[in-house]
Chains A and B, each alone.
Chain A
């Protein structure tokens, strides 16, 4: 059974998603962040689908569980596309976009084939432990990709503050979700009390942080990322 907090998080998430799209269009950055906007729009559609499933089939129904876990996996794959766009922006001055494009395409196809193979092998047990493991692995791939991207940003001394904040927000999102799924695998009893809240909170966090960056940080704003790494004296 969903409570008022669930609905509040849903509404906040959708509002934040609308804010991202509005901010991207208002700052005339659509061409630069089209994959991000596409992900946000798909996320909004999925959220509406989840609402429909809860309304017609109920929170504990198989339809809702299938829709939730599979749409989540697909959205994660779609988010990798946004990560790739950040890679392209980071390496754009090196003219390495062709290689990154190929590497990214291979990586996404490999992840999709691997996920399909795992789903196909476990098709008799799709709503149990398996979906949690799949989610955990997909989010962890996201963590690794974002961490490597952050390493590249530091190495190449990328100073675009907007890109830096978008990547950091993404890193928080992927790592929190990977951690939540891994903990669910380790301690299933924690799920109803604590862990079930992490994915919806992160679902609000990511569009909110992106909307904040798009609205408050101008495209030409600069920040040396090395300054963020300074340790206390």
Chain B
């Protein structure tokens, strides 16, 4: 009986802590506004990014030269996004509120990917400018 109670309570606490931890990684990117350059490249027009855009944005991120300091964050958020995608898939049974919540979180993940892309584009431009100035 005690083991069952501990198991249920620990599962509930684990889920909460996991979601809060992932949000703590996503939160700083929410303070960053997307540049016109990245909006032009990705075709994002509004302030929000669509939940399903994550994979497309991640592909674009991978096309840019690596900055080296964002790899672990991108990997962690990618894992969180995949878990949310599974949750969204099974949310038909759990009800529309779960699907709504999963979409909200996935939107944050997509926004994070857009910010990462923006940083990498800036980095590539800096690299390019540096190369040009070195040649001159």
Q: Which of B3, B9, B20, B101 contacts A229 (CB 8 A)?
A: B20
Q: Which of A133, A176, A233 has the most CB of B within 10 A?
A: A176
The answer to whether B14 and A176 have CB atoms under 8 Å apart is: yes
Residues in chain B near residue A227, CB distance under 8 A: 23, 27, 30
Interface residues on A, range: 35 or more
Residues in chain B near residue A146, CB distance under 8 A: 17
0/1 per residue, B1-22, Cβ < 8 Å to A?
0011011011101100110110
Residues in chain A near residue B14, CB distance under 8 A: 171-172, 175-176, 179
Count residues on chain B whose CB falls below 8 Å from chain A CBs.
27
Q: A168-B20, A168-B21, A231-B101 are in contact. Are A143 and B13 (CB under 8 A)?
A: yes
Chain B contact surface mostly: helix
The answer to whether A147 and B13 have CB atoms under 8 Å apart is: yes
Expressed in whole angstroms, the Cα–Cα distance for A137 and B72 within the complex equals: 33
Expressed in whole angstroms, the Cα–Cα distance for A9 and B4 within the complex equals: 28
- Footprint of A on B, CB under 8 Å? 3-4, 6-7, 9-11, 13-14, 17-18, 20-21, 23-24, 27-28, 30, 69, 72-73, 97, 100-101, 103-105
30 contacting pairs across A/B (C-beta < 8 A)? A136-B3, A137-B6, A139-B10, A140-B9, A140-B10, A143-B10, A146-B17, A147-B13, A150-B17, A161-B28, A164-B24, A168-B24, A171-B14, A172-B17, A175-B10, A175-B11, A175-B13, A175-B14, A178-B10, A179-B6, A179-B11, A182-B7, A183-B7, A209-B21, A223-B27, A228-B20, A228-B23, A228-B27, A232-B101, A232-B104
- Footprint of B on A, CB under 8 Å? 133, 136-137, 139-140, 143, 146-147, 150, 161, 164-165, 168-169, 171-172, 175-176, 178-179, 182-183, 185-186, 209, 212, 216, 221, 223, 227-229, 231-233
